[in-house]
Amino acid sequence: MKKYYLSHLSAAKLWNVPNIDTVIDRRSNIGDDKVEVTVPQNSVRFRTGRKMIHSCELDLPASAIVSRNGEMVASPELLFLEFASELSIHRLILLGLQLCSHKHGKPYEAITTKEKLESFLANTAGHRGQRKAIRAVKYVKNGSASIMESLMYMVLTLPYALGGYGLNGAVFNYRVELNSEARKLLYKNCCYPDLYYKKERIAVEYDSYTHHSSPMEQGKDSIRADALAAQGIQVIKMNTIQLYDRDACRLFAHNLAARLNKRINIRTKSFDKMHVHLRELLPTAKPVLKAENS
């Protein structure tokens, strides 16, 4: 019987966490051929050319280690706790969002849920990173369909103290039932806005150039927006430039706040520094567009 289990990045890859390299910023100290495992005793912890050995001597919940594809591996919930001591609070929140992401209307495909993360963390007192993980999971929501949706959500909704614009209350990909006329136009019974403020009936869509640049796609987007407007739902689009350009993003956030009957009034001294850290999460080479769960 194996006395170790796959953990950290190796576990994340086995669970196929969407865009994990972007989430953790491709840690340079671990190559693609390096396997990370955890053992129950610090005395047998060591590093070899092929393995990086971690140790965890404290008791874990019974569900912490599971079998997957013939390997003993850290559960998604334990994985979140493991990364809490390695990632910034922003990257940890992003990891949580990605762990809880799934395709439109298919919550059963999510690797885990916010509720499972909270329940697990409540039973890991004393473990390294537990307090940070509990703080991070407060801002995790179920149902993101792409990493760009996750990042848009973080920028718009995280509190000022974490560098966001504090426009909380949005949910991911809320199912909106379409009326008969809209169904005929869109050939579907429902749609899922990227972010949705239910009380205010405002939908925020991430408008990526890759998926919305053709005349056909733009036409579909317009019909969809009109169909939602006919049902009393206002659609606001955020494009790639508005997310990546700080000034354009600030203007978008203030305009959204006005539609929500809210006011952005940042007095937190740490906002600028934390906003920079938040922006460091944005993919730098090419934006990772809506692909993995769209």
Say what the pLDDT of residue 148 is: 96
Say what the pLDDT of residue 43 is: 62
pLDDT above 70 (res 67): yes
The total of structural domains in the chain comes to 2
Say what the pLDDT of residue 161 is: 98
Confidence of residue 209 (pLDDT cuts 50, 70, 90): low
The residue type found at 32 is D
Say what the pLDDT of residue 28 is: 44
The answer on 104 and 56 residing in a single domain is yes
- Final residue of a structural domain among 105, 137, 169: 137
Query: Quick one: which H or E segment has residue 95?
Result: helix 89-99
The answer on 181 and 130 residing in a single domain is no
The answer on 27 and 83 residing in a single domain is yes
Task: Let me know if residue 254 belongs to a domain.
Answer: yes
pLDDT above 80 (res 30): no
Residue 201: give its domain's CATH number. 3.40.960
Say what the pLDDT of residue 69 is: 87
The answer on 212 and 115 residing in a single domain is no
Q: Tell me the average pLDDT across 44-61.
A: 76
The answer on 217 and 166 residing in a single domain is yes
DSSP letters spanning 22-79: HHHT--TTS-TTPEEEEES-GGG--B-SSEEEEE--S---TTSEEEETTEEEE-HHHH
Bridging pattern class, strands 195-197 and 171-172 = antiparallel
Task: Let me know if residue 168 belongs to a domain.
Answer: yes
pLDDT above 60 (res 214): no
The answer on 261 and 159 residing in a single domain is yes
Which residue is associated with the tokens 């203007």? 251
Task: Provide the residue range defining the domain that includes 180.
Answer: 147-279
Say what the pLDDT of residue 133 is: 99
The residue ranking higher by pLDDT, 70 or 281, is 281
- Final residue of a structural domain among 99, 117, 137: 137
Say what the pLDDT of residue 181 is: 84
pLDDT above 90 (res 40): no
The answer on 126 and 12 residing in a single domain is yes
- Copy the structure tokens of residue 225: 């927006």
Alpha carbon 143 to its chain's center:
9
Task: Let me know if residue 285 belongs to a domain.
Answer: no
Task: Let me know if residue 108 belongs to a domain.
Answer: yes
Q: What is the DSSP code (8-state) at residue 210?
A: H
The answer on 246 and 182 residing in a single domain is yes
The structure's pTM equals 0.90
- Final residue of a structural domain among 109, 137, 165: 137
The answer on 167 and 116 residing in a single domain is no
The answer on 94 and 14 residing in a single domain is yes
Q: Tell me the average pLDDT across 266-286.
A: 90
pLDDT above 70 (res 11): yes
The answer on 260 and 220 residing in a single domain is yes
- Provide the 3-class DSSP secondary structure of residue 239: strand
The answer on 133 and 152 residing in a single domain is no
Say what the pLDDT of residue 288 is: 44
Task: Let me know if residue 127 belongs to a domain.
Answer: yes
Task: Let me know if residue 162 belongs to a domain.
Answer: yes
